[in-house]
Structure 1
C-alpha cells in the first residue's frame, strides 16, 4: 500500500528525487495507463507548490485529447502545433514558458494560468503518446530544474506502462 512522505523544504533537485521515489512506490506493479496517469497527476498536484493545473493529453492519432488531470475543467481537444501543448507534441520538445500571454496562439483553458511546462511523452519506438502539462498562476514559476525534475519524474510514469 502506498503512503506519502513529506517533501517540503528541500532544494528542487532533492525535492524531485524524493518525488521520483514517491512515484515509483505509487506506480510500481500497476500497468494501466489511465490508473497510473490519474495517480501521477494527483501526486504532482499534492506535492508541487504554486501550480493551478496539471494533467495529461494523450494523442489519438490526430490530435491531443485530455486525460487524467487535477485542477479546473480543461480544454478537451488540442490540435498539433496549436498552443504550447500542441507545439510540444509536434516538435517532441519540452516547452518551458515564462509567460503564456506572450506566446502567439496560446490556448486559454484557464485565464489564471501565466506560466507553463509541457513535456512530450513518447513510446519506446519514438512515436508520440501525448504530453504532460503543468500550469501556474504566476509568470516564471518553472525553471530548468523543474524541467529536468519533471522529465525524470515522467520517466517513472512511462516505465510503468505496457503498450
Structure 2
C-alpha cells in the first residue's frame, strides 16, 4: 500500500492477506510454522510499510524475557526483557503498542537504525497465556494506526487461538 491509502483500502488488504494466511494454515498445528507463515505473508502484503515483521517469543526458561522467533527482515534483537522497549512494554502490559516515531520515545531499543515507527501486538494462546509479541517496524514515521491494531489483533487471535488483546 502506498502513502495516502484509505482505511477502506487498508482493511481490504488485511482481509485479503488474512484469507491467504488462514487457508495456508488450515490444519497446521505447529506454532513455529504458524509464526513463520504469518511473518512471511504479512511482510509480502505490505512491503511499503513493513520492513521488519516477526515474533518475539516468551522464553519458557526465562518467563520474563522475550527471545527472537520467526521473522522477515534484518537482524532482530536476540533477547528483550519484559518492560524494556516497545516489545517488552507490550509483553509487560499485555496491550498493543503503536509508536508513531520511535526516536521520540526514551525506551526504544534500536535493533536497526532505519526503524521510525512500530506496532507490537501481544499474542495469546487459547488459554489466554501470553506466548509472544508480534512486532512490525517501518522505515517511515506514522505508519501504523488503530486500524492496523484492530486487524492484527483479530488475525493473531484467530491464528493462535487467543481471545485477542
Task: Report the TM-score when normalising by structure 1.
Answer: 0.88
* Long gaps (5+) in structure 1: 1-6
SS in 2 for 1:55: strand
Name the counterpart of 1:24. 22
- How far is 1:62 from its partner? 2.7
Write the deviation string for residues 61-85 of structure 1: whole angstroms up to 9, x where unpaired: 1300000000001100000000000
Write the deviation string for residues 35-87 of structure 1: whole angstroms up to 9, x where unpaired: 11111111011111322100000001130000000000110000000000000
- How far is 1:125 from its partner? 2.6
Structure 1 residues 118-127 or 105-114, which shifts more?
118-127
Write the deviation string for residues 101-120 of structure 1: whole angstroms up to 9, x where unpaired: 11112100010000000000
RMSD: 1.8
Higher relative contact order (Cα pairs below 8 Å, separated by 6+ residues): 1
Name the counterpart of 1:139. 141
Write the deviation string for residues 22-47 of structure 1: whole angstroms up to 9, x where unpaired: 11111111010111111111101111
* Long gaps (5+) in structure 2: none
Asked if 1 retains the 8 angstrom alpha-carbon contact of 2:123 and 2:157, the reply is: no
Matched, 1:69 2:71: yes
Matched, 1:12 2:10: yes
Matched, 1:155 2:157: yes
SS in 1 for 2:56: strand
Count of residue pairs the alignment pairs up: 154
- How far is 1:157 from its partner? 2.0
Asked if 2 retains the 8 angstrom alpha-carbon contact of 1:66 and 1:74, the reply is: yes
Asked if 2 retains the 8 angstrom alpha-carbon contact of 1:57 and 1:64, the reply is: yes
Task: Report the TM-score when normalising by structure 2.
Answer: 0.87
